[in-house]
Structure 1
Amino acid sequence: MTLSVALHHRFDGFVLDVAFEAPPGVTVLFGPSGSGKSTVLNAVAGLLRPDAGRIVAGPAVLTDTARGIHVPAHRRRLGVIFQDGRLFPHLSVRQNLRYGRWFAPRGAPAMPEGAVIEMLGIGALLSRTPATLSGGERQRVAIGRALLAAPRLILADEPLSALDDQRKAEIMPCLERLRDELRVPMLYVSHSPAEVARIATTVAMLDAGRLTRIGPAAEVLADPSVAGRGRDAGAVIAARVVTHHPDGVTELDAGGRALFLPTLAAAPGDRLRLRIAAQDVMLARGLPQGLSALNILPGTVESLVDLGDSVLVRLSTDAGAILSRITRRSARQLDVVPGAALTAIVKSLSHGPADVGTPTH
């Protein structure tokens, strides 16, 4: 299902003016706080009437200000997942789940309640109340409630932002299963690069109420002109697990190149999505010798952006596009220019669990 969004809305001191087509999959609205991400989500949800705009989800026109159409939020067949779950405190987990069923249109295809409970691993929670749940448990219940409404689209407003790293690690696989196994379309708001790299099939970059870039996640995240600073800048590549070595290293194949990470909880043959932060990538002329780093990726410079205090370089390799942040002095010494042959060097231990996810299909 394709989502078409065109919005113009004015607030005091802020104007939102965006238009984009979100293809099937997970489209992430990505950008700094105050860029307009949640405003777009609220308009799609029917919680905001834009000054002007048109929103179409598949064949359904949800908003069309020119024709006076504004479908009420409860009739849009959208599943919404908020930052804090927003479960009904006086209802049990089972009752919260079944509340979603009330919004499922008669005859609409919907997952069986038991299948949702099993997928999310919440069978032991059914008799409990929200006050007794952890943040991660509440979010899993909120996802289940959204699914049981048989939505045409799921809207997720920074669903992991209020969780610690351990709880995020619980929820992210659930979201990946929605994307890969259930194929439920999602419009997802985030300002976390690692989160975007794991979940997005399409990235729509917003800044100050404007759309600055939209496209496949791997292309947008590896674009030096829109990448952030620090660990915010990074590229995404696809890899396949080859084997687990007895010395605590997992070997991957990425475009015919071997990559090595600390042992991963994945089986040989599994396909993974790997985020490589630009600050974790060194560059060299030729193939370096005598290094402790295991990941060596020869490539060619495609483009570079001078950030003032550093230079962000995009390198084309067999494994995919890689970003590297180096000092201006290093860029001069290496004579980094488009077309230059360089080698990317990535430390194996620079990757944490949050940087590894399942690939999109």
Structure 2
Amino acid sequence: MKSELRLDIRQQRPFALNAALHCQAGELLALLGPSGCGKSTLLRMIAGLQHAESGTISLNGDTWFSDSVKLKPQQRRIGYVPQHYGLFPHMTALQNVAAALHGLPKQEQSARAREWLEKVQLGAFAQRKPAELSGGQQQRVALARALTAQPSILLLDEPFSALDSITRDGLYRVLAMLKPQLNIPMILVTHNLNEAQLLADKIAVMGQGCILQEGTPGDVVRQPLNRAVAGLIGVRNIFSGTIVRTSGARSVLAVGDQELELQRILPAGTTLHWCLPQEAIRLAASTGVPGSLAGNISHLVRLGEHWLVSVSLPGTSDILELQCPATIPLAIQQPVRLAVRTEQIHILEA
């Protein structure tokens, strides 16, 4: 039977935490959110390193935590990869991995540790101590150590955040290659949306101690549930507006002194929050483009081969942001017209 982690916990002190989630075997769930939102605390609760005031945590129907059950970490068979490796400095890479197998005969410890060092592409570095390894190599040793004891669950607490981008990309590939072989739930704590999109099967967005939205990376990014989620995943174009009238099968949305047609029917007078990805906006060549807005450039930043353009709109304090090639000549206060792909407008819950 495939294992499945289920968690439903609550506490008020030392800070409020109210979260429910589940993760199936072979699935990687990313806990995404800013520092201080409770991600690492949730991971420590799964590991048994601290306990909530109430609730339940179970794996495959076996209770790990409840009002009457509080299993110790060693009783849960946790594979844990911390942010700063946690390796023993006086031991070689091989000895560090074998340390997770202290219950086995020495020969079997060494054989299995070598096998996992090969799996993380460090077979040639078995006799090196942590100080002789790069940060990325140390993190691979930590990953091998977490997996060699055949854990019931893998917990990854921001394991890539201290690494440079090239090393991080290499570790992404290693984890992605290992993932199909691991028939256990995997929980990744991260504040990096790109990392979650690359590695996760599901994302749970956390804010102020709560799970605000859970879903596939595509669903969360394209359809954030509300303004809080949209802000946490980096959506820049978040607005409020009112439906001024309906026209056939469409509704007309006021955007300051201008209007956009939505491809859905909403009652006139409805006030709503909505968002729009930057790729759904482009500079229009003429004034006759349907679904377009006029404005003036209020801010302009060169980012490599692109402009990051902020456009103020008449009749509102809202600012639209978009990217366009830096080969286009632009200037502050320049009037522009923006073509908007209105089918990509996403309406947020209040």
**TM-score of the superposed pair, with normalisation by structure 1:** 0.63
Q: 1:309 aligns with which of 308, 319, 326?
A: 319
Instruction: Say if 1:115 and 1:222 are closer, same or farther in 2 by CA, change over 3 A.
Output: farther
Tell me which residue corresponds to 1:89.
89
| 1:6 and 2:31 are equivalent in the alignment | no
Instruction: Say if 1:310 and 1:34 are closer, same or farther in 2 by CA, change over 3 A.
Output: farther
Q: Secondary structure at the match of 1:196?
A: helix
CA shift for structure 1 position 333 = 5.2
CA distance in structure 1 between the aligned counterparts of 2:59 and 2:103, rounded to whole angstroms: 17
Instruction: Say if 1:336 and 1:157 are closer, same or farther in 2 by CA, change over 3 A.
Output: same
| 1:185 and 2:195 are equivalent in the alignment | no
CA shift for structure 1 position 233 = 4.3
CA distance in structure 1 between the aligned counterparts of 2:167 and 2:52, rounded to whole angstroms: 35
CA distance in structure 2 between the aligned counterparts of 1:218 and 1:209, rounded to whole angstroms: 23
Q: Secondary structure at the match of 2:51?
A: coil
Instruction: Say if 1:62 and 1:339 are closer, same or farther in 2 by CA, change over 3 A.
Output: closer
The structure having more radius of gyration, on CA atoms, is 2
- Unpaired runs of 5+ residues, structure 2, are 105-110, 237-275, 291-315, 323-334, 346-350
| Equivalent residues of 1:97, 1:141 under 8 A apart | yes
CA distance in structure 2 between the aligned counterparts of 1:21 and 1:311, rounded to whole angstroms: 36
Per-residue CA shift, 1:100-149, capped at 9, x if unaligned?
22378xxxxxx944432222111121111112211101100000001111
Instruction: Say if 1:100 and 1:51 are closer, same or farther in 2 by CA, change over 3 A.
Output: same
Tell me which residue corresponds to 1:260.
none
Instruction: Say if 1:217 and 1:50 are closer, same or farther in 2 by CA, change over 3 A.
Output: same
Note the 1:268-279 alignment, pairs <5 A: 278-279=277-278
- Unpaired runs of 5+ residues, structure 1, are 105-110, 235-276, 287-305, 313-328, 341-361
| 1:118 and 2:118 are equivalent in the alignment | yes
Q: 2:60 aligns with which of 55, 58, 61?
A: 58
Instruction: Say if 1:281 and 1:334 are closer, same or farther in 2 by CA, change over 3 A.
Output: closer
Tell me which residue corresponds to 1:23.
24
Code of the aligned partner of 1:310: L
Q: Secondary structure at the match of 1:18?
A: strand
Note the 1:149-298 alignment, pairs <5 A: 149-224=149-224, 225=226, 226-228=229-231, 232-233=234-235, 278-279=277-278, 282-283=281-282
| Equivalent residues of 2:281, 2:341 under 8 A apart | no
Aligned residues: 252
The percent identity for this pair of structures is 31
Instruction: Say if 1:206 and 1:38 are closer, same or farther in 2 by CA, change over 3 A.
Output: same
CA shift for structure 1 position 86 = 0.3
CA shift for structure 1 position 94 = 0.7
**TM-score of the superposed pair, with normalisation by structure 2:** 0.65
| Equivalent residues of 2:136, 2:163 under 8 A apart | yes
CA shift for structure 1 position 98 = 0.6
| Equivalent residues of 1:93, 1:141 under 8 A apart | yes
Root-mean-square deviation (CA, aligned residues, Å) is: 3.0
| Equivalent residues of 1:179, 1:185 under 8 A apart | no
CA shift for structure 1 position 183 = 4.1
Code of the aligned partner of 1:76: R
Code of the aligned partner of 1:134: S
| Equivalent residues of 2:94, 2:114 under 8 A apart | no
Instruction: Say if 1:181 and 1:52 are closer, same or farther in 2 by CA, change over 3 A.
Output: same
